[in-house]
Amino acid sequence: MLNFTFWIALPAVAVYFGVCALVFVAMHLMSAEMNAIDSDRGKSAIAAAVESLVVGLAESTADEATWTEAYINTYIEPNPAWLDSVWGATARISDTYDTAILTDMSGNIIFGETSRGPVTGTLAELFSGVPQLLERLEAGIARAGDDATVSNLSRNARGAAALAGAVVHGNSGQASIPREQRRVLWLARQLDDIMLRDVATRFQLPLPRLVEVPKPDHDAMALTDAAGAAIATIDWPPRRPGDPAFAHTATIAVLVMLIIGVLIFVVLAAFRHSIKLRTASEERDWYNARYDGTTGLLSRFGLEEHIAQAIPRKRGELPVAVSQINVDGLQDIVGLYGREAANELLVALAERFETITDGEAVLARTGPTELSLARLGEDAGEKIRGFADRILAGAGEPVPVGNLKLKIGLSIGVVDAPTRRDNVGNLIRMAETAVARARETGGNHTVAYDPAIEDERRRRIELQADIRRGLEAGEFDLEYQPIIDFRTQAILGVEALMRWNRRAAGPMGPGEFIPAAEASGLIDDLGMFALRRAIEEIGPLGELKISVNVSPAQLRNPTLPQTVFATLDEWGVAASRLQLEVTESFLVSHPDRAIRLIEQLRQSGIIIALDDFGTGYSSIGYLKQFRFDRVKLDRSLVAEIDSDPVQAALVESTMIYAFAMGLAVTAEGVERREEAALLSRLGCREFQGYLFARPLRLAQLERLLQGEQALRQAS
């Protein structure tokens, strides 16, 4: 959580507040820019209004000066009364101008009248910037003649005013007036708040005022005369449109940022919760990867990690011993008493093993039915072998599980070898190889790892791969051994026997490849191949019985009956011609399922035979428990029957019991006439063995059948 706060939460909060600050700074700058733009617009508008006033006054001055009557009363017949009645009277009462002055080209006043009375002297004494205006007028006359006009703002005793001057001249083409005779009409208009208010109203401007010092919070513009000297200042209250815009957008921005802040908080909270869940999940995954949830012991990965971490990096190798202990029959306990009972059994065994090792070895659960011991150090091998012996010695003691006392078998594999950090997994695999050999060889003993076991397993795996390739390449075939009626010597049927002629390595007997196929699960494919091929090849040969061996793997397949029925239908073979031979191994491990399967097959008319009777644990009880149609006596039971009274008595009692139950009997592996004769006297009718016929290829069998048919026809 500290990492979350430091690397995620704090940066996110910092970014959030940084963005908020940037947004508000940007909004403030935009507001200030809007205010500045509006202020500049106001200044431009005020300047334009003042300029308009000055220009308007200049136009009025030009109109008053360009007048023939004024020309006559000024130059030809100078008439002060006329000047006063026209220009003086206007100055006194008009809003257009409030000052009218007539001067020569040097600015000396010839006539002067204002709204406050007459004026004398020079124009420069009344208004500022006059010398500059006179210079501009001289320059204007030089360019445009008597039509030249000048105007500008100026300052007089009353304050700022607009001042404009023009040479008085006629408008009917009079000759240019010499400089010394020229008279200049000057009109002035005083600037005041009333006039500025009228201008502001006309131009829709803020309310301006003439001031000496502008207010700090007002916009202002300085007025200058023709000489560039400041004569007055106009200020006006700024409209500041950016302020309400800022207030409006700031309100929205605050709401948006609050919403975003809430969302960020929710996202961070959810993310933090997700991280907590993920962290908890990772911790669980870490624990589950290293510890077994049932027993609390180290798992296989945890054991490998424990051993690897105990081996110093610089040392390279360290003696390590591992003992893997398989609980034989644990799956049967699951089936009988449930998974919970099996788990309690594992916990009880773990406690027993911990008591035996007394902390001198690491205990782990390395598989569904396996517990393991591991120890490092020079005495590791000796210690682990000693623990294995003690564990095996106590295997016969019942393990209390609830109200039960369960007896178990243990298969133990031991390996002892110098091991590197990166080779621990291989060491445990060696222990698994050793325990697998212990199970294969009957269990309840200890097997030490030997590389030869690996070689044998490798050969078995290669053989299984060869079987798979052989099936795909069509290398498997069938031979058929006849089943003979001893009295008539007629062929009653044949038993299909699997043959494998490997293209690369030559023939291999069933005794070698059948166990490998059973171990790999390929026996189901092989068995179905034999069933289909036998029905396909023998089906057309009259009424011969077809006897096919069925492996336990096939019997465990719930679709076997449907597959058999479909194959018979495909080739049009009656079910009564098919005999399926089963062995006791499936009967022992799954008696209830075997009874149901046998009954389902028998109901269709298929003959069920118990094969290899007399081997393993086969007993008369099987004949009673399971509803067979036939029993096949194994070669081990009938061999030397003529010279062994005990063997003969055993066979006789078996046959009597079988006949009493209505079972047919077939003697397998009969190789001597004496054996056949005695079996015949005991009541056996059907025989199979080298004495009568070896296994035959299909073509050989067909020729044999043809010869038999010819003999019958001849007789």
C-beta neighbour count of 356 within 10 angstroms? 18
Q: What is the pLDDT of residues 117-164, one digit of tens each?
A: 999 999 999 999 999 999 999 999 988 888 899 999 999 989 899 999
CATH fold of 300-449: Alpha-Beta Plaits (3.30.70)
Burial class (CB in 10 A: 0-12, 13-18, 19+), 681: exposed
Give the gyration radius of the chain's Cα atoms: 63
- Residue-wise pLDDT tens digits, 540-577: 998 899 999 998 878 888 888 999 999 999 999 999 99
What's the rounded Cα separation, in Å, for the pair 250 and 235? 30
Written as six digits, the tokens of 555 are 């019997």
Mean pLDDT of 153-178: 84
Indicate the average pLDDT of the chain. Answer: 86
* 194 pLDDT higher than 80: no
Fold observed for domain 475-714: TIM Barrel (3.20.20)
CATH class of 41-236: alpha beta
- What does the pLDDT look like over 529-542, one tens digit per residue? 999 999 999 999 98
b/e string for 435-448 if b means 16 or more Cβ within 10 A? bbbbbeeebbebbb
In this prediction, residue 151 carries a pLDDT of 94
Average the pLDDT over 25-52 and give the result: 78
pLDDT tens, position by position, 484-524: 999 999 999 999 999 999 877 788 888 888 888 887 788 88
Of 620 and 297, the structure prediction assigns the larger pLDDT to 297
Report pLDDT for 341: 87
Strand partners, 475: none
Work out the percent of the chain whose per-residue pLDDT is above 70: 95
pLDDT at 175 over 60: no
pLDDT > 60? residue 91: yes
Which candidate in 113, 304, 668, 686 is catalytic?
668
Task: Grade residue 621 by pLDDT with cuts at 50, 70 and 90.
Answer: low
Using a pLDDT cut of 90, give the percent of the chain over it.
34
Q: Which of 267-276, 353-362, 586-595, 701-710 bottoms out in mean pLDDT, i.e. has the lowest?
A: 586-595
Under the banding of pLDDT at 50, 70 and 90, the label for residue 108 is very high
- Which 3 state secondary structure label does DSSP give 205? coil
**Cα dihedral across residues 205, 206, 209, 211: positive or negative:** negative
3-state helix, strand, coil in the chain (%, to 5): 55, 20, 25
**Per DSSP, what are the bridge partners of residue 549?**
581
Q: For position 322, what pLDDT does the model report?
A: 92
58-74 burial code (b ≥16 CB/10 A, e <16)? bebbbebbbbeebbebb
Catalytic site includes residue 668: yes
Angstrom distance (rounded) from CA 434 to CA 445:
11
Of residues 642, 645, 629, the one with CA closest to residue 691 = 642
Chain segment 661-705, per-residue pLDDT in tens: 899 999 999 999 999 999 999 999 999 999 999 999 999 999 998
pLDDT of 617 over the 60 cut:
no
* Tens-place pLDDT, residues 440-471: 888 888 998 888 888 888 888 888 888 899 88
**pLDDT tier at 373, thresholds 50, 70, 90:** very high
DSSP class per residue in 351-410: HHHHHHHTTSSEEEEEETTEEEEEEESTTHHHHHHHHHHHHHHTTTS-EEETTEEE--EE
Domain ranges of the chain: 41-236, 300-449, 475-714
Confidence bin at 31 (pLDDT 50/70/90): confident
Give the model's pLDDT for residue 715.
60
Among candidate residues 482, 591, 605, 487, the one with its CA nearest the CA of residue 546? 482
Q: Decide: pTM greater than 0.95.
A: no
CA dist 100 to 63, 366, 370, 680, Å?
13, 121, 126, 168
pLDDT in tens, 393-419: 887 788 888 888 888 889 999 998 888
